[in-house]
Chains A and B, each alone.
Chain A
């Protein structure tokens, strides 16, 4: 099968899996890749919200699996990026509605249609998590530099290794000034504890809340700092060696954070 199938997971909820899936997908699509995003959070779907396609949902993942519709009838094409499509989750069902085998089959079918399948995993390590990783060939673990998140990420990485999935790490919502004052773990601390290959570092940005509420991924906002970072992550995913921006430059970030709010 042609496509790379990547699950985005974390263990801990609320660290930014869905936002990362949406923005990384957008960045890849912008660079010319054909991308399909799959929301595996049945019953608590949010990927459609973050992308602003909620109003256009007619069929969903569970109905595809149950044979009520064709796969292409359920796929929603993004209006802003023609290479980006999303397969939404069902809202009025729960995660027992599909099996790992069924999920694998859907992901395989999608794999024939695009270059990247990104699977947004639900929080936790229960049935929903197992479904989400079932069809994947590789994993990205998203974590924030907080002790609870790192501990959960560690548990999840263990489970991913059990399945033989290669794992790469994105550290989300890092606040450089807090790292400097010793109130937040730094990048090196995190990568050392988790011993996984680093794929990206995304700083905390209050604009993300608003863009998420409005369904406009920040990666699509022209000239946004975060947009540039997601573009770099996309390039790294493609195999390019892109150096990490040092977040240490104090004056730039201190100015930025003082201006906020």
Chain B
């Protein structure tokens, strides 16, 4: 599936007009909970299902989406270049050779978030929605201008939260700021079932007792994620990765191919650790 080359759809006169794509911002409030990793992996998984996907890095000045995708060497232009008319959108979009239906629009590294005009960014997202099935926006940490820009133009949000008190508090703040007009769903990331059992970590219920959000998915903590982000190989491309499978399942839920309730990862038994994949 990964190496298969798929022709991009070419519009033909008389075709059914395209339904507008979905724009989803991936946000959290707290930094370091897995927004960028989630954006990269969900985008990869959605594209692998056959959808056309563009990933937008809204973290001006601290861009990381390109690293996590392993595309940093291919980035020539960024969002601000497009907004300021220096290059066209097509010139700025980076293609991922492993996943042909996936594109990346990188952030500027040597600029500031204040340089982005919110209305212009919103219009850009609108343009992207006309061209792609899914527009995923990687939101910076915090609730400042970077956050405000990232959510402009997205009428859906995925809140990523780890099972820790500080992360839940920050996520709650963000949900409040997202307002009532957006569809907001939750991914609980880095769950460690053994610690939950010992009472040393919050459970999914503890998290959602505060956040009150529809649950999109739960992802277990696993060391292969760090390795993959360092190497620029999203785990969603690895058929043997459990975390990769979690992302693939979430992608199926997003497209509507799967409507079952998300599975909560279970604690591995000793035998499970011995014989079942990497833990």
A and B in contact, CB less than 8 Å: yes
Choose from B61, B142, B144, B170 the contact partner of A46 (Cβ within 8 Å). Answer: B170
Would you give 9 A-B contacts (Cβ < 8 Å), ordered by A?
A13-B142, A124-B142, A126-B113, A126-B145, A147-B230, A148-B67, A184-B230, A185-B230, A261-B192
Choose from B64, B140, B166, B173 the contact partner of A124 (Cβ within 8 Å). Answer: B140
Given A148-B68, A209-B201, A210-B200, residue A12 in contact with residue B62 (CB < 8 A): yes
Instruction: State whether A49 touches B166 (Cβ < 8 A).
Output: yes
Instruction: State whether B32 touches A152 (Cβ < 8 A).
Output: no
| Cβ–Cβ < 8 Å partners of A43 in chain B | 143, 173
> 8 Å CB contacts to B: which residues of A108-151?
122-128, 146-148, 151
How many residues of A sit at the interface, in one of the four size bands? 35 or more
A95 at the interface (CB under 8 A from B): yes
Q: How far is the CB of A187 from chain B (nearest CB, A)?
A: 16
| Cβ–Cβ < 8 Å partners of A15 in chain B | 31-32
- With A44-B30, A125-B112, A178-B227 known, 5 other A-B pairs at CB within 8 A are A124-B144, A127-B145, A146-B230, A152-B64, A207-B200
B223 at the interface (CB under 8 A from A): yes
A213 at the interface (CB under 8 A from B): yes
Instruction: State whether A44 touches B67 (Cβ < 8 A).
Output: no
Choose from A91, A124, A183, A210 the contact partner of B62 (Cβ within 8 Å). Answer: A124
The 9 closest A-B pairs by CB, nearest first: A13-B31, A14-B32, A13-B141, A123-B31, A123-B141, A210-B200, A148-B64, A14-B31, A46-B166
> 8 Å CB contacts to B: which residues of A12-61?
12-15, 18, 43-44, 46, 49-50
A155 at the interface (CB under 8 A from B): yes
Q: How far is the CB of A59 from chain B (nearest CB, A)?
A: 19
A11 at the interface (CB under 8 A from B): yes
A94 at the interface (CB under 8 A from B): yes
Instruction: State whether B165 touches A210 (Cβ < 8 A).
Output: no
Instruction: State whether A212 touches B144 (Cβ < 8 A).
Output: no
B122 at the interface (CB under 8 A from A): no
Q: How far is the CB of B198 from chain A (nearest CB, A)?
A: 9
Q: How far is the CA of A122 from the CA of B170 in the complex (A)?
A: 12
Nearest neighbor of B267 in chain A, beta-carbon distance: A261
Instruction: State whether B164 touches A146 (Cβ < 8 A).
Output: no
Q: How far is the CA of A128 from the CA of B229 in the complex (A)?
A: 27
Choose from B61, B109, B169, B200 the contact partner of A209 (Cβ within 8 Å). Answer: B200
| Cβ–Cβ < 8 Å partners of A151 in chain B | 62, 64, 67
Q: How far is the CA of A49 from the CA of B32 in the complex (A)?
A: 18
Instruction: State whether A126 touches B142 (Cβ < 8 A).
Output: yes
A82 at the interface (CB under 8 A from B): no
Given A13-B32, A14-B141, A15-B32, residue A124 in contact with residue B164 (CB < 8 A): no
